[in-house]
Structure formats: structure tokens, C-alpha cells
Structure 1
């Protein structure tokens, strides 16, 4: 069974953590959801971000999401792909040298990476977006440009694929985001 690594953390976006985790399990992957300084069975608190007509998203308490693997036991070479979730967690996750090292590994090996919303902040910190076209939550767009990438504005229901990388602006893009990530992983779904 192929393994997928999913990096999340406290106040990651609820849907952007739970939906990819559950969808990847549903199609048969073993998903290791991890957070620095936490172990298998620990929880992270998520936040629900919604679009309700304000100038930016609103934030409400989400669920407690139970981690399925211990961060300190992660060996990047054991995974077929990486998912980086959004929300507020990337603000501090990008300060963790191990997280950055893991992200760099996946890009060095040209393995599939899926990043959503503010998760792109981890990619810009890792220095892996230069020369790439990607999307993100619009407020993260300037970071993509500063890091040498090309920010592409797309509707929140869409995703952008560039080589081994699929990105989407926010959780409404899950159908496109997961479909494109599965293609990068080489998954075949028969209907």
C-alpha cells in the first residue's frame, strides 16, 4: 500500500485537513497525518474558514483532528506523495527546519506534492516555487511572486498543476485538487 504524508498543525483549516485525509484513505492510501512536536494519537485543533461576504474569510473553531503518525518517526523516502494543508498552521510550521527539509526532499525527488491555501507559505519558505506556476489563497499570492513563482489567480473551485505540484486557493477546490493529486500519484479510478 502506498503511503502519503500529510502535514498539519494546530489551527490548520478543518476541511483542508480532514477532507484530503479521508479521501486518500477512501481510495486505498495509507495516510500519515503528522504535526511537529506531536505523536500518533495526539490531536490538533482545527479552524473552520468560511467565505461569508466579508473582506476576508471568517474563522470559527473546528474539530480536534487525531494524528495518525508520530512526526519524529517520519522518513520522507517512505512516502509516495505529500499533502500540505492550509489555515493558520503554515505560519508556524514553516519555521520548523524538519518540515522544510521534508518539503525540499519531495521536490528534489520530483514526487507528487499537493498544497492548498496558506500551505503554500511552507513551499515559499522552502524555496521550491521559483520558476513554477501555482495558486494559493489570494493574500499569499505576493509571497509566491517574491519567492520567484508565478501566482495564478483561479476560482476557489479550481486547482493548478505544474509538474509534480498541484495547488488550490481553498477548500472549495477539493474535487479538482484531489483529482489532480491522484493523477500525479498514478492512481486509476474505474467507474
Structure 2
């Protein structure tokens, strides 16, 4: 399922590919075409068992949509599994649910988390932090740990 701030169902947006260069800073390049399947207003949170909040630059903007904040609060109010990575914590901060929660995030976001009453835990970028129904990771390198923990919170078992 893909959502966006202003586009409508059926529109196509381009994803952004983040890559690191020898300058130690990441660059964004135009990525793949992505079809919008719903707007935020069309989302019924009761149809979902958990929430995954992406990182990147989107979390700076999507909290401007009140429905995003309502959806985020719904999952916390129902104690459903929530995963957030990197800058995705900005959505949780804007929704007002970080107070007294222990989590990690991209280091540059940690001052905002602390101001919002959350406890920042510094971990390796390959790790994740779980606090009740919430699992967070500081960067895309933590996807393995984040998704593994998110699946556990959802009650999903994967075996080979």
C-alpha cells in the first residue's frame, strides 16, 4: 500500500534512491515509478494490524496532513505494532506519542526526540530498539533488525 500527501489514487510518483558518495553525505537520485493506491483520507486504520513509518525526507512533510497524525495515534491507542526507521520518528514526534518512550532514530533527529519527552538510545545503525509495541532503528542499515522485530510484534514467524 502506498500513500502520499497531495497526489491521488492512480497517480505515479518517482521514488528516491539514497546513496552515499565519497563526500560522506548521501545523495538522492530519481528512483522507480511508484503507483499511488490510496490517499491518506482513504485509509481505514482498522484494516491494518500494524504501522510502518518510513525514513528519508517524507517524515518532514507528511505530518502536515492531520490524517497522518490521527492514523499514527490510532496504532498507539490500540497498542498495535509500530515500526519506524531513521527520520520516521519525526512522524511519531508530531503525533505526540514519544513522551516516556525509549527509541532510536537518525542521530540528527535525536534533539527533537528529547525535546518531545522521548528517551534517545544510541545504537549501531544495524540495530533496533524495542519498547513495548514500538520498534525503531536509526538508519536503513537496520532494516534486518527492524523488520525481524516488527514481524515478532505482529506474531509472524519466518523460517527457512
TM-score by length of 2: 0.91
Verify: 1:47 aligned to 2:16, yes or no.
Answer: yes
Q: Which residue does the alignment assign to 1:161?
A: 130
Give the ranges of 4+ consecutive aligned residues of structure 1 lying more than 6 Å apart after TM superposition.
none
- 1:37–1:72 contact (8 Å) kept in structure 2: no
1:150 aligned to 119, 128, 137, which one?
Answer: 119
After the TM superposition, which residues 41-190 of structure 1 pair with which residues of structure 2 at under 5 Å, given as runs?
A: 41-52=10-21, 54=23, 56-190=25-159
For 1:44 and 1:162, locate their aligned partners in 2 and report how far apart those are by CA, in whole Å: 34
Q: How big is the shift at 1:36?
A: 3.0
Task: Say what the alpha-carbon RMSD is for the aligned residues.
Answer: 1.6
Q: Which residue does the alignment assign to 1:17?
A: none
Q: Which residue does the alignment assign to 1:25?
A: none
Q: How big is the shift at 1:150?
A: 0.7
For 1:91 and 1:67, locate their aligned partners in 2 and report how far apart those are by CA, in whole Å: 19
Aligned residues: 160
3-state DSSP of counterpart to 1:34? coil
For 1:121 and 1:54, locate their aligned partners in 2 and report how far apart those are by CA, in whole Å: 26
- 1:50–1:58 contact (8 Å) kept in structure 2: yes
Q: How big is the shift at 1:43?
A: 2.6
Uncovered stretches (5+) of structure 1, i.e. residues with no partner: 1-31
For 2:3 and 2:84, locate their aligned partners in 1 and report how far apart those are by CA, in whole Å: 15
Q: How big is the shift at 1:95?
A: 1.2
- 2:40–2:67 contact (8 Å) kept in structure 1: no
